[in-house]
Amino acid sequence: MKTIVTGKLFLFLLVAGISALALTGCATTRSIQGKLIVPNRVNKIINGTTTKSQLISMLGSPYSIEKKPLTSDTVVYKYRFYYNGYTHIGNEIFTASMKKYEQKLNVVIKNGIVIAYSFTSKGNISLKNVLNNIQNEN
């Protein structure tokens, strides 16, 4: 008889625990800054040939512009994209998954012509695939 009571108590506690977890739910938090930089468009930049207006036509306005203090004819256009995604289970006690992805493009422009650029990206591989699907649609 004692085994039956213990079994019922265990079942009750199990159902109560699962119900409590279900009531707290899951939540997804995303933080996105900047605009996705499409690598296919970056590949079209040609040092010494691409103009500032062509660059803006290809990529849009930069995230920021840095003017060089000693050379008034040289600026750096900075393009940035940051994505952080978290899936929380319960009251943010457990983080089930985390996705991060970051892109940086710096373009040096002198007298209205691109003279150099650097592009880097890093982050979660599966998120890169998702982002590639997005850019292929555009």
Predicted confidence at residue 76, as pLDDT, reads: 96
Q: Is residue 12 part of a domain?
A: no
Q: Is residue 85 part of a domain?
A: yes
Q: Is residue 65 part of a domain?
A: yes
Domain count across the chain: 1
Does pTM top 0.75 for this prediction? no
Helix, strand and coil content of the chain, in percent to the nearest 5, comes to 35, 40, 25
Q: Is residue 20 part of a domain?
A: no
CA distance 127 to 62: 23
Helix, strand, or coil here: 86? strand
Predicted confidence at residue 61, as pLDDT, reads: 94
Predicted confidence at residue 35, as pLDDT, reads: 87
**Tens digit of pLDDT for each residue in 44-56?**
999 999 999 999 9
Token pair 């940035």 is found at 80
Count the neighbouring beta carbons within 10 Å of the beta carbon of residue 109: 21
**pLDDT mean by block of 10 residues, the chain; 138 residues:** 62 65 59 85 96 96 88 92 73 60 94 96 71 57
Q: Is residue 13 part of a domain?
A: no
Predicted confidence at residue 110, as pLDDT, reads: 94
Residue 96: domain span: 25-137
Predicted confidence at residue 74, as pLDDT, reads: 93
Per-residue CA distances from 52 to 17, 49, 78, 85, 97 (Å): 60, 10, 13, 33, 40
CA distance 88 to 9: 29
